[in-house]
Structure 1
Amino acid sequence: MKALDKTFTKYKEEVHPYYYKDDSYERIYVKSSPSDDQLENNVCTIIFKVEYCSVHIYNIPFTSYENKGYGSVAMRALIKHSINKGYLGITGLLSPSDPANTPRLRSFYKKNNFDIKPNSKSDSGKIQLDLTNPSELLERINLLENKLEEQQKKIASSEHDIANESKIVKLLKKYF
């Protein structure tokens, strides 16, 4: 398992993406804390295969951690990994097996710059992200990750200031 660069969710939580490959599939794991154990601290997984110079997403298993930004972190890690490997695109299918989640999945892929091609019933379809001109995508990802990191630094600084103010208040109460 290979550790990728730590990053932050949109909720300013520090997370740790990892890349893993076995005989059947490749995976991007997002973990809540660093761990080389494949299943430990895992909050999101993208399972994929490389086919004809392109990545095909096979599954993003549901967990109890939906709507917390972990999927977007995993997708950014997959996009960066795919660009670094020189792959031409990322594809996948929207499955009609869970129609209640179709709107949420469409929103997720659209937010992550994928083109969505629905079938005639609009209950399933294909997703695709073109990576032949990666500089714009990488620039957007880097801007977002830098913004998230800056927000995290501001929060840490504020927490430090609050802790110091608390010490001063205790000191003042002691003498007054």
Structure 2
Amino acid sequence: MIGTAFLEENKSKDDIKEELDTLEIQLFRMQNNIKEIAKKWEIISIDQTNDNNWVVIYADKGTEACQIMLHDCDAAFRGDWNAAIQAEYKNENTIHIADIKGQQNKGYGSILMNYLKELAHNENVQYITGDIVERDFDHVNRLMHFYRKHNFDVKIDHTEQYGEIICNER
């Protein structure tokens, strides 16, 4: 399969070698990153970003809150995540998104949202909710697009600079 993809794109041997070398480096980093992350957090999965970088997804779950984090294997893990969703359990039926942090336009938020939804499903939580607050209004259009893309109902009051989201997949 891989050989066919390479042939179809008419890549040179040097291009193929460079891609394989990059992949090998990412896999080596991933292995080391997983070892370091697993010392403190629960490893959930590995995934790929839009630009085909491998990422490690891990979590810090408590009884009142959880944080799902992501580390991009383009660099060694040094104790900090590249992106995270912080959420709290409002009750047995609701996870409330407190914040999403990380670099924009890398696909990190979408990867994390998918794992938050999976967590909610596995824990039989019916609702994922959240607020859009005043500090978010400098990028409210981007947030609206993001949440709608992930099947959330988004209600925005531009006058009050406040909004609410609720996942409507359930």
Do they superpose with TM above 0.5?
Answer: yes
The alpha carbon displacement at 1:30 in A equals 0.8
Q: Which residue number corresponds to residue 51 of structure 1?
A: 90
Q: Is the 8 A contact 1:87 1:131 kept in 2?
A: no
SS at match of 1:66: coil
Q: Is the 8 A contact 2:71 2:83 kept in 1?
A: yes
Give a deviation string over 1:40-73, Cα, whole Å, max 9, x none: 2511111111112110011113x4x211111111
Output the CA distance in 1 between the equivalents of 2:122 and 2:65.
Answer: 18
Structure 2: gaps (5+ residues): 1-40
* Aligned AA (1:73): I
The alpha carbon displacement at 1:106 in A equals 0.9
Is the counterpart of residue 12 in structure 1 residue 70 in structure 2? no
> TM-score with structure 1 length normalisation?
0.64
Runs of 4+ in 1 over 4 A off after TM superposition: none
Q: Which residue number corresponds to residue 68 of structure 2?
A: 28
**Bigger fraction of residues in strand:** 2
CA gap of 1:76–1:9, structure 2 versus 1, over 3 A, is same
Aligned length: 127
Give the structure with higher Rg (CA). 1
Alignment of 1:142-161 (within 5 A): none
Give a deviation string over 1:122-170, Cα, whole Å, max 9, x none: 73210000353xxxxxxxxxxxxxxxxxxxxxxxxxxxxxxxxxxxxxx
Output the CA distance in 2 between the equivalents of 1:55 and 1:48.
Answer: 6
Structural RMSD (CA): 2.3
CA gap of 1:67–1:120, structure 2 versus 1, over 3 A, is closer
Percent identity for Structure 1 against Structure 2: 26
Structure 1: gaps (5+ residues): 133-176
CA gap of 1:51–1:57, structure 2 versus 1, over 3 A, is same
CA gap of 1:129–1:23, structure 2 versus 1, over 3 A, is closer
Q: Is the 8 A contact 2:151 2:168 kept in 1?
A: no
* Aligned AA (1:56): H
* Aligned AA (2:45): D
Q: Which residue number corresponds to residue 138 of structure 2?
A: 100
Q: Which residue number corresponds to residue 74 of structure 1?
A: 112
Output the CA distance in 2 between the equivalents of 1:90 and 1:18.
Answer: 19
* Aligned AA (1:81): L
> TM-score with structure 2 length normalisation?
0.67
